[in-house]
Amino acid sequence: MTLFLILVIMAIVLGLIGAVAEGLFYLLIIGIVVFIGALVYLVLHIRRSGRHHRTLRRDAGRTGWGLDAALGGARAEPPGAAGEEKRPAATCE
């Protein structure tokens, strides 16, 4: 990214000198070419960096992601499934 910024600054400086100074029109052309080269470099850099996808790795001893993994694989189970007694449903009569 630093190279891109240096090329853009160089293109601006060359373009300004070429546009203002009499007889140095070729510097304006060089500045335009450098600017186009900087844009091409930026596009190639963005494309290349888009191919690298970071993958999340799961630990071998854990069973899931997020809170499940943070608890060491302990899963929340419904009441009664882990040896707890089920309570009878309250009824209003």
Q: In 3D, which of 74, 70, 71, 72 has the Cα closest to residue 61?
A: 72
Could you give the 3-state DSSP secondary structure of residue 21?
Answer: coil
DSSP string, 38-92: HHHHHHHHHHHHHT----PPPPTT--SSHHHHHTTT-----TTTTSPPPPPPP--
Mean model confidence pLDDT for the chain:
75
At 36, the amino acid letter reads I
The confidence score (pLDDT) of residue 79 equals: 57
pLDDT tens, residue by residue, 23-56: 898 999 999 999 999 999 999 988 887 665 566 6
